[in-house]
Amino acid sequence: MRRLNLFHLVLLTPAQTLVTLMLAAPAFYVFWLSLTTSSYGLNPQFVGLDNYINVLSDKHFWTASWNTFLIVNVVVYIELVLAFGMAVLVASLKKGRMLIFALILVPYAISEVVGVLAWRFLADPNIGLVTQAFAAFGITFNWTRNVADALTLICTISIWQHLPFTFVIIYAAVISVPRDLYEAARVDGANGWQQTWNITIPLIVPAATLAIVFRYIFAFRMFSEVWLVTKGGPVRLTEVLGTYLYRTGFTFADFGGAAATGWLMVLGALLLSVFYLRSMYRKSFSDE
């Protein structure tokens, strides 16, 4: 094995510098800001844990936390079930797989803004295609007034945008299940459902866990879908942690409170990813 030298350090510099300057340093500075009051982050005055106390005693923070918890769990598990069904279906097709695969990926290419635009129009309370179709069945759907409807729309948009990601991960795992396992099961008389339950599902658990962890982390930081659909309204009832942080910092100019919310979110993200980080840690140090 060749030895590390100055040249390698130079090669690592761009990546490490970008990450340290743009992400790591600000993330640590946020911790300091969370213990201070400041005017848009300037001239911070130390106030101890006041910001945390303010945030934790703000009822809007708890609404936001509850909505985040709800949305994250709904989207992650619905996506997982849909992605699995789609993966098994697409894997079983004889032809046209590539085309269907490409079409499934379309939402991945779409900006959140365009996704929201399309769905907001489809679900427009007056002229939306979906709303009017629902109305024909006697269902009223109005996300501009009704909190549950607004959250439903937000979840739908989020699932629509991120299903391709979950699908790709699950699909890769489904097609890598060895064919001869199914052959053997068929010889033993297992039907399609039994094969799915006893062979496919157990073998894709690692990939599914990974997809869940990633989607938890990404859904947890949700901002744009909510901001562009409801701006957190009506009366802040559809707020999530992302919009709560933004509003605290940039609308109410309370950078200390926003920083405290930020650190609470970092802790939440760490908690969600502890499992993933532990396995990555083992892996990075395993082949010493």
Partner 1 sequence: MNRLIVTASKAVLVALIVVWSVFPVAYVVINSFKFQRDIFAFPPTIAFTPTFDNYLDLQKNYPEFFGFVWNSVIISVTATILSVFAAACAGYVYSRYRHNALSASAFYLIAIRLLPPLVVTIPLFPWINQLGLADTHLILVLLYATFWVPLNVLIMKEFIDKIPRELDESATVDGASEAQILRHVIAPLSIQGMVACAVFVFVFSWNEYLYAFIFTIQNAKTTPLILSELMDSVAGTNYGILFAAATVQLAPIVVVVMLLQRFLVSGLTAGAVKG
Residue 96: left (phi > 0), alpha (psi -120 to 50), or beta?
left
Single residue of 69, 134, 182, 223 touching partner 1 by CB under 8 A? 223
* 57-71 b/e (C-beta count within 10 Å ≥ 16 → b): eeebbebbbebbeeb
Show contacts with partner 1 in window 2-41 (CB under 8 A). Answer: 2, 4, 7-8, 11-12, 14-16, 18-19, 21-27, 29-30, 33, 38, 40-41
Q: Interface with partner 1 includes 266 (CB under 8 A)?
A: yes
Single residue of 217, 233, 236, 237 touching partner 1 by CB under 8 A? 217
Q: Interface with partner 1 includes 287 (CB under 8 A)?
A: yes
Q: Which stretch binds partner 1 (CB under 8 A): 48-56, 65-73, 137-145, 250-258?
A: 250-258
Cα–Cα distance between 29 and 252 in angstroms, integer? 20
Site string for partner 1, 118-157 (x = CB under 8 A): xxxxx----x-x--x-------------------------
Q: Which stretch binds partner 1 (CB under 8 A): 55-63, 104-112, 138-146, 180-188?
A: 104-112
Contacts with partner 1 by CB under 8 A: the residue count is 97
Measured from the CB of residue 146, what is the shortest distance to partner 1 in angstroms?
A: 19
Cα 10 from chain centroid (whole Å): 34
Helices (H) and strands (E) in the chain, counts: 14, 2
Q: Does a cis peptide bond (omega within 30 degrees of 0) precede residue 234?
A: yes
Tokens 């062979």 belong to 199
